[in-house]
């Protein structure tokens, strides 16, 4: 764990759907730190199979050196004690221990910059992302272009043999025959999706709300006035 520095640390989360430019933004912020002569380390999840284990790369082919780690514990063990800026790519793939690690780093004055998918293929919060988003000093939410309508995309469409994936499929597929597209809320499709009944989007329970049309009826719901006179 890096030693405590005088400057205040922070957590920055770069989030959005696939093809929204999260990696470009992470590389931009990390390069800026290098220009400022800060010591930088960039990590990525070993689950990210898009490139080899020593680089992160954007869809446009921009590459940056990174260390692939299987979990938060390994990441912590590889931290340079003098590091100023820690970048983490595909942070949604990490275990829950990544959250307290980011907190401890930021508490010690480290600038933590993480990039990840905020929603899974179902359009639901992805793993540790909601917690990191809540704890972050800075949130950068990026959008892509919807492959169907050309609007602003916030979701990742998973397609299996050209068909929308089913709700019950695993969140993380490695080496499967699926493809992904950026889509907007309206064009995003999930087969067998429960309607507003999933984790995080529970509909409000039905409550008996009195419908008051006549103001005099309001008195029925008010505390009775106490007569102090007499
Ligand atoms: Zn659309």
What separation in Å is there between the alpha carbon of 18 and the centre of ligand 1?
Answer: 14
The answer to whether 172 and 211 have CB atoms below 8 angstroms apart is no
Answer yes or no: is 18 a known binding residue: yes
End-to-end CA distance of the chain: 74
The yes or no reply on domain 10-143 and CATH 3.40.50.300 is yes
Higher per-residue confidence, 57 vs 120: 120
**Per-domain residue ranges for the chain?**
10-143
Indicate if the alpha-carbon torsion angle 167, 171, 176, 178 is positive or negative.
positive
Residues 6+ apart with CB under 8 A from 76: 1, 101
Give the number of other Cβ atoms within 10 Å of residue 197's Cβ: 9
Q: Given a cut of 90, is residue 5 above it in pLDDT?
A: no
- Rounded to 5 degrees, what are φ and ψ at 116? -170, 165
* pLDDT tens string 109-163: 999 999 999 999 999 999 999 999 999 999 999 999 999 999 999 999 999 989 9
Per the prediction, the chain carries an average pLDDT of 85
Element spanning 67, H or E: strand 67-69
Give the number of other Cβ atoms within 10 Å of residue 142's Cβ: 17
Answer yes or no: is 25 a known binding residue: no
What separation in Å is there between the alpha carbon of 146 and the centre of ligand 1?
Answer: 5
State the pTM of this model: 0.81
Answer yes or no: is 197 a known binding residue: no
Q: Which of 111, 36, 53, 45 is nearest to 75 (CA)?
A: 45
Which one of 25, 76, 90, 229 is the catalytic residue?
90
90 in active site: yes
Answer yes or no: is 15 a known binding residue: no
What separation in Å is there between the alpha carbon of 195 and the centre of ligand 1?
Answer: 19
């Amino acid at each position: 764990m890096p030693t405590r520095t005088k400057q205040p640390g922070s957590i920055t989360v770069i989030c959005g759907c696939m093809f929204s430019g999260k990696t470009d933004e992470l590389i931009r912020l990390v390069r800026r730190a290098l220009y400022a002569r800060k010591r930088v380390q960039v990590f990525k999840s070993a689950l990210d199979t898009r490139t080899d284990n020593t680089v992160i790369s954007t869809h446009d082919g921009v590459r940056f050196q990174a260390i692939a780690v299987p979990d938060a514990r390994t990441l912590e063990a590889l931290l340079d004690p003098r590091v100023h800026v820690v970048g983490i790519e595909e942070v949604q793939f990490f275990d829950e221990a990544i959250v307290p690690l980011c907190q401890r780093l930021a508490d010690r004055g480290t600038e933590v910059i993480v990039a990840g998918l905020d929603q899974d293929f179902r359009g639901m919060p992805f793993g540790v992302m909601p917690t990191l988003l809540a704890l972050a000093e800075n949130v950068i939410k990026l959008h892509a272009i919807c492959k169907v309508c050309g609007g602003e995309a916030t979701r990742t469409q998973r397609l299996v043999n050209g068909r929308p994936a089913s709700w019950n499929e695993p969140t993380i597929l490695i080496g499967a025959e699926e493809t992904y597209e950026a889509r907007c809320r309206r064009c995003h499709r999930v087969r067998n999706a429960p309607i507003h009944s999933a984790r995080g989007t529970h509909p409000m329970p039905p409550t008996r709300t009195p419908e008051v049309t006549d103001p005099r009826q309001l008195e029925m719901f008010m505390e009775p006035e106490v007569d102090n006179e007499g």
